[in-house]
Structure 1
């Protein structure tokens, strides 16, 4: 019998269960990937579950930022609806990261996504910040799949300051209203 079956055996509705164990703190540098690998990591981030985000996190941010940048360029050939949808998705990610990390995503002249004025992999994030950015990306990437979901997080307080944990839980409640 699976953990889900043991915990939720009396509930008749279909529940999703997302596990998050913040052990993967070596966040992969998106500049080391070619465009196809970035896109693959972006697509994989949308799959249910919170495993492996240390490999996908920065690639997801970089890819979404690239999509927003390309669609909003004055020579873009994208339909207006695609431009608006991409812009809204990017703004939602910006908002999540800003609420959890208290900083905004920016873009360098060379096209790298930046935090704190540095390319993502060079920001020197604390362990707690690495956990929060992975969770922000996971929440954003899986937003359509969060209804009727139970989040199981193994000791998130190990890496988070108590006030950051409270802010994260408040943000989670705002983003995942039916979870």
Structure 2
């Protein structure tokens, strides 16, 4: 018997995943969305992968622009994850009002200064995966790295702070 989407979601809620923000700078504005499970794919060349809703605007803009930034959120940044996952959200810059950020050198996308890590990426390719696309991203730079920061996690359908840093 096939697994239902509800059963699948319930099962994977038991898996703790890191939380990040994927941001894209296009000619019109900054676009951003919350992503979970930023996955390391390869060290040589450096590649990561994130899943995006196939028919969503962030995937469309990423494909058109060809570059982005991924900020891995730190403990205490759950409000940002919530802001970027809500429907009908405004520009990424408006959602980050009062939050320190800068532009990634390669992509020009927003990267959080206070996250665990910021990755400046070039889109390698999009792979169709059911109702999502898997974005394979070539890492062009690491403009933010806070080795002592504890990450924000998603577990049981909620955001939780990982204990301590290093």
Name which one, 1 or 2, has greater alpha-carbon Rg: 1
Q: Is TM-score (shorter-chain normalized) higher than 0.5?
A: no
TM-score category, normalised to shorter length: under 0.3
Q: Which is richer in helix?
A: 1
Give me the TM-score of the superposition, normalised by structure 2: 0.25
Q: Which is richer in strand?
A: 2
Give me the TM-score of the superposition, normalised by structure 1: 0.24
